[in-house]
Amino acid sequence: MKHRRSTKLCQSLAAALALCVTAPALSLSAQEAQPAPAPAQPAEAKVATPAKPTEAKVTPPAARVKLLSAGAAPRRVLQYAFRAGETAKAQIDMTASVGMKSGGQEMPAVTMPTIRYLIALGPIKKTAGGFLVPWHAASVKVTGDANPEAAKAIEPVLGYLRKMKGTYVMRPNGEVGATTLDLPADAPAQLSSQAQGFQSNLGQLTSQFPAEPIGVGAKWQVATDVPADEVTMHQTVTYELKTLTKKGGTLDVQIEQTADPKTITRGDATTKLNSYSGKGKGSLDVLFGAPVAHFDGTIVTEMSLEMSQGGKTQAIDTHSAMQMKMKPMGSAKAAK
């Protein structure tokens, strides 16, 4: 019984990780992200009118940009310049593996199915402060050799994510401004928090540049405090400009994450986050005239939890790895 519970927990953790590569702390609420069963209706009850999607305005975390080195001459201020009416598609593949220790027992890492998102963006509109980018999930599915049990555990969440859509404002330097997010009205509350993390990641389909002129070899940091359910994660991304042309550039990416200790109580269940840390790296190829970049990276995280319910407490230590691959897939139809 304990082994089955551990397997289910690992699957839930990985499912949450697969939703948002920069917010793994969401796994604290993953077990509650399943849709509640619909109540039985009387035989003569009328079918209710489907609920309209709910729209939430999301305030993106404020980014703190710090230039570490301006790089070699020639230098210039880097900015994006999208065409009005432009559309694009982003294919994002996420593969998570999770291992855990609990009660003196160690469970080998479980590799979850690869989740493939196809995100349609546009048509882009120019605004006074930059660009308004509508988007919707064209498809969300499991790919590759998926473990049937693991795929089944993830599917209820994917059903809601397939209905996601929203907008975000992107300034010429890559900073993300106001955003909106639409989810089905019957989506679980915890899923809304996870989807908002995914929405924040859409703004990272490109890179944020410093305000100063830079050249090859330049280094800068972008620090954010990312809300993830009831936990705030502190993330610092360090970029190094490896190549630069008129049309774009190649960047090395280093990621560091931490989270403050936090206790979350829901009903008679309590989850205490004792520690969380993450480190990652990758490579990013950007085009200044395109809203989607090429990215290939991995992040490894360590998390220590205590879960209490019914007078029993269980300590859980997890080790997880997330691989993310992103690439543009050409133009897209207008967001629905």
Local structure of residue 248 (DSSP, 8 states): E
The CATH number covering residue 55 comes to 2.30.230
The stretch 125-152 carries a mean pLDDT of 87
> Residue 39: inside a domain, yes or no?
no
> Residue 40: inside a domain, yes or no?
no
Q: Cis link prior to 74 (omega < 30° from 0)?
A: yes
Buried b (16+ CB within 10 A) or exposed e, 148-159: eebbebbeebbe
What percent of the chain shows pLDDT beyond 70? 74
pLDDT at res. 63:
87
Give the model confidence (pLDDT) of 182-234 as tens digits. 887 777 766 666 666 666 666 566 789 999 999 999 999 999 887 766 788 89
pLDDT at res. 2:
41
Count other C-beta atoms under 10 Å from residue 136's C-beta.
Answer: 20
pLDDT score of 179 more than 70? yes
Residue 304, domain extent: 2-29+51-328
Global pTM reads: 0.80
- Nearby residues of 2 by Cβ (< 8 Å), 6 or more positions away: 103, 105
> Residue 43: inside a domain, yes or no?
no
Contact 229, 190 (CB under 8 A): yes
The stretch 156-177 carries a mean pLDDT of 89
107 phi and psi angles, rounded to 5 deg: -105, 125
Handedness of CA 237, 12, 329, 53 (dihedral sign): negative
Spatial separation of the C-alpha atoms in residues 317 and 276, rounded to whole Å: 10
The stretch 125-145 carries a mean pLDDT of 91
What is the average pLDDT score of the chain?
A: 79
pLDDT at res. 3:
40
Strand partners for 134: 167
Q: Which two tokens stand for residue 110?
A: 């479980």
> Residue 336: inside a domain, yes or no?
no
> Residue 162: inside a domain, yes or no?
yes
pLDDT at res. 57:
63
72 phi and psi angles, rounded to 5 deg: -85, 155
pLDDT score of 94 more than 60? yes
96 phi and psi angles, rounded to 5 deg: -115, 145
pLDDT at res. 112:
83
36 phi and psi angles, rounded to 5 deg: -75, 145
Contact 229, 196 (CB under 8 A): no
The stretch 250-254 carries a mean pLDDT of 97
pLDDT score of 17 more than 80? no
- Nearby residues of 110 by Cβ (< 8 Å), 6 or more positions away: 7, 10, 11, 14, 97, 98, 99, 150
Report the number of distinct structural domains present in the chain. Answer: 1
> Residue 87: inside a domain, yes or no?
yes
Spatial separation of the C-alpha atoms in residues 261 and 264, rounded to whole Å: 10
175 or 42: which leads in pLDDT: 175
36: helix, strand or coil: coil
> Residue 36: inside a domain, yes or no?
no
Helices (H), the chain: 2-19, 148-161, 189-202
pLDDT at res. 158:
86
Spatial separation of the C-alpha atoms in residues 113 and 195, rounded to whole Å: 19
What percent of the chain shows pLDDT beyond 90? 50
pLDDT at res. 62:
78
Tokens 């509350």 label which residue?
Answer: 189
Q: 70-79, 280-289, 323-332: lowest mean pLDDT where?
A: 323-332
Q: 54-68, 171-185, 264-278, 286-300: lowest mean pLDDT where?
A: 54-68
Give the model confidence (pLDDT) of 271-298 as tens digits. 999 999 999 999 999 999 999 999 999 9
239: helix, strand or coil: strand
25: helix, strand or coil: helix
84 or 202: which leads in pLDDT: 84
155 phi and psi angles, rounded to 5 deg: -55, -45
> Residue 304: inside a domain, yes or no?
yes
pLDDT at res. 213:
98
Q: Residue 5's pLDDT band (boundaries 50, 70, 90)?
A: very low
